């Protein structure tokens, strides 16, 4: 079986809004979602002061207060984004075969805030004061598990944990399941809630985070003065289904997924391969599966973390793949606005890419002032642009050498 796969619904919880229209409007307008950390006091021992926190999040839109207390923040985000995606898709779940509806929600870390809270209980009060909900709240698979419980989805229920590539891998695996006919529909994406004392301290010790005090000069992908990424949080979930299923129910089709590539660097725990080989092969695989000319790809939503190595090595990988036409590509990093959502990054970036196709608009890389000679492509600096693009690619690279690329096509009706 070789089903075509389309996106018919999308939901977000993000530093730029918890509604697709608000999120996309802020992306279009280059709004910076980064600010000083409010989740905890950073005055003692924290050199990192900035993050991209979710604002005005109220889970009770979909989760009652009693249940919300038994869910880690990352699970709350996942449920909320999934329910938004279902609403956005206009599907009536009471009229579908739920054994054909799957869930794949990736995460990088899972329930970190719960782990921190219960570790304090253990050390301060003893083992009998550790919550009986500690394990089911903290384990990474419960983003997917809880989405399945809330939606009644009885198809595949899986979690991808590939660090910062988890969201993209989840969508790619969903694409393959639908393409092969295993499931007709899948809720796919990623969720992360790691702006916690331990999360920031850990990445700070790794020297991975920006220590900037200026929100507009903290996450500055491809800029010569970039000095680390900014932690973000949130979730992105896509409602994906076979084209036939979508047409049968007269769904609004946002974009079509046409290719997926997944490779490993086998190089280093945290650094990408400096030759760009793994990232390049992932892009090549996605383009090959789609069976399209490289010249048809009009936009790349780059991983673009604002770290010195990532941005230069990803630029090199793009040049490997697109060679003499790489200068014609529009490339941007929406992490300049959202920060880096780790396991959820690829999901909200896939959403931004799908909206770019639907809206014929390429998002900007904001905060770009000082060009880097090692990053010499078109990064759509500071202002987005109207462009009628047919294909968009979204890249993700994760600690451990995980690379993933999605290729999406503008929906212009069934050919």
Nearest to 163 by CA among 134, 137, 197, 202: 202
Domain of residue 211 covers 5-248
Residue 367 is classified by DSSP as T
- Hunting for tokens 């698979």 — which residue is that? 141
Which of 196, 217, 248 finishes a domain? 248
- Rounded to an integer, what distance in angstroms lies between the CA atom of residue 287 and that of residue 297? 9
- Rounded to an integer, what distance in angstroms lies between the CA atom of residue 328 and that of residue 105? 34
192: which strand partners? Answer: 234
**Is residue 393 situated within a structural domain?**
yes
| Count of residues making up the chain | 415
Which of 221, 248, 275 finishes a domain? 248
Note whether 229 and 294 are same-domain residues.
no
Catalytic residue among 245, 340, 375, 402: 340
**Is residue 255 situated within a structural domain?**
no
Check residue 413 and give its pLDDT. Answer: 81
Catalytic residue among 164, 169, 375, 402: 164
Active site residue 402: no
Q: Which three-class secondary structure state does DSSP give residue 277?
A: helix
Check residue 415 and give its pLDDT. Answer: 66
Active site residue 157: no
241: which strand partners? Answer: 6, 185
Note whether 229 and 264 are same-domain residues.
no
User: Residue 9: left (phi > 0), alpha (psi -120 to 50), or beta?
Assistant: beta
- Rounded to an integer, what distance in angstroms lies between the CA atom of residue 123 and that of residue 117? 10
Check residue 229 and give its pLDDT. Answer: 98
Note whether 72 and 110 are same-domain residues.
yes
Active site residue 245: no
Which of 248, 282, 314 finishes a domain? 248
Note whether 215 and 316 are same-domain residues.
no
Catalytic residue among 157, 169, 245, 303: 303
Asked if 65 and 29 count as a contact pair (C-beta separation under 8 A), the reply is no
Please report which residue ranges of 96-153 form alpha helices under DSSP H. Answer: 112-125, 134-138, 142-151
pLDDT tens digits, the chain, 415 residues: what are they? Answer: 799 999 999 999 999 999 999 999 999 999 999 999 999 999 999 999 999 999 999 999 999 999 999 999 999 999 999 999 999 999 999 999 999 999 999 999 999 999 999 999 999 999 999 999 999 999 999 999 999 999 999 999 999 999 999 999 999 999 999 999 999 999 999 999 999 999 999 999 999 999 999 999 999 999 999 999 999 999 999 999 999 999 999 999 999 999 999 999 999 998 999 999 999 999 999 999 999 999 999 999 999 999 999 999 999 999 999 999 999 999 999 999 999 999 999 999 999 999 999 999 999 999 999 999 999 999 999 999 999 999 999 999 999 999 999 999 999 987 6
Check residue 1 and give its pLDDT. Answer: 77
The radius of gyration computed from the CA coordinates of the chain, to the nearest angstrom, equals 20
Note whether 293 and 317 are same-domain residues.
yes
Q: How many domains does the chain have?
A: 2
| CATH code (residue 357) | 3.40.47.10
């Amino acid at each position: 079986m070789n089903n075509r796969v389309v996106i018919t619904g999308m939901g977000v919880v993000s530093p730029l809004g918890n509604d697709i229209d608000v999120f996309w409007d802020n992306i279009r307008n280059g709004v910076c979602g980064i600010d000083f950390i409010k989740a905890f006091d950073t005055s003692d021992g924290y050199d990192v002061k900035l993050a991209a926190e979710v604002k005005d999040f109220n889970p009770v839109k979909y989760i009652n207060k009693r249940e919300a207390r038994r869910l880690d923040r990352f699970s709350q985000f996942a449920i909320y984004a999934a329910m938004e995606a279902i609403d956005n898709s206009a599907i009536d779940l009471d009229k579908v075969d739920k054994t054909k509806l799957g869930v794949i929600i990736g995460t990088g870390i899972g329930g970190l805030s719960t782990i921190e809270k219960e570790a304090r209980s253990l050390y301060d009060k003893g083992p009998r004061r550790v919550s009986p909900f500690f394990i089911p709240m903290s384990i990474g698979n419960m983003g997917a598990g809880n989405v399945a419980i809330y939606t009644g989805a009885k198809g595949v229920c899986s979690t991808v944990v590939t660090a910062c590539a988890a969201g993209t891998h989840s969508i790619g695996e969903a694409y393959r399941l639908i393409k092969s006919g295993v499931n007709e529909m899948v809720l796919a994406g990623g969720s992360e809630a790691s702006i916690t004392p331990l999360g920031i301290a850990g990445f700070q010790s790794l020297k991975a985070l920006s220590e900037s005090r200026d929100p507009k000069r903290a996450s500055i992908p491809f800029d010569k003065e970039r000095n680390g990424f900014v932690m973000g949080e949130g979730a992105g979930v896509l409602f994906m289904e076979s084209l036939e299923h979508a047409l049968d129910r007269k769904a609004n089709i946002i974009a079509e997924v046409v290719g997926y590539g997944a490779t490993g660097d086998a190089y280093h725990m945290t650094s990408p391969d400096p030759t760009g080989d793994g990232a390049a092969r992932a892009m090549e695989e996605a383009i090959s599966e789609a069976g399209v000319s490289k010249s048809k790809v009009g936009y790349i939503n780059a991983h673009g973390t604002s770290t010195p190595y990532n941005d230069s090595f990803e630029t090199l990988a793009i040049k490997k793949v697109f060679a003499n036409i790489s200068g014609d590509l529009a490339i941007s990093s929406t992490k300049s606005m959202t920060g880096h959502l780790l396991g959820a990054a690829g999901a909200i970036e896939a959403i931004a890419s799908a909206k770019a196709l639907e809206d014929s608009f390429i998002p900007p890389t904001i905060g770009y002032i000082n060009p880097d000679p090692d990053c010499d492509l078109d990064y759509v600096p500071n202002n987005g642009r109207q462009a009628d693009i047919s294909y968009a690619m979204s890249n993700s690279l994760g600690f451990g050498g995980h690379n993933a690329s999605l290729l999406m096509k503008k929906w212009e009706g069934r050919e």
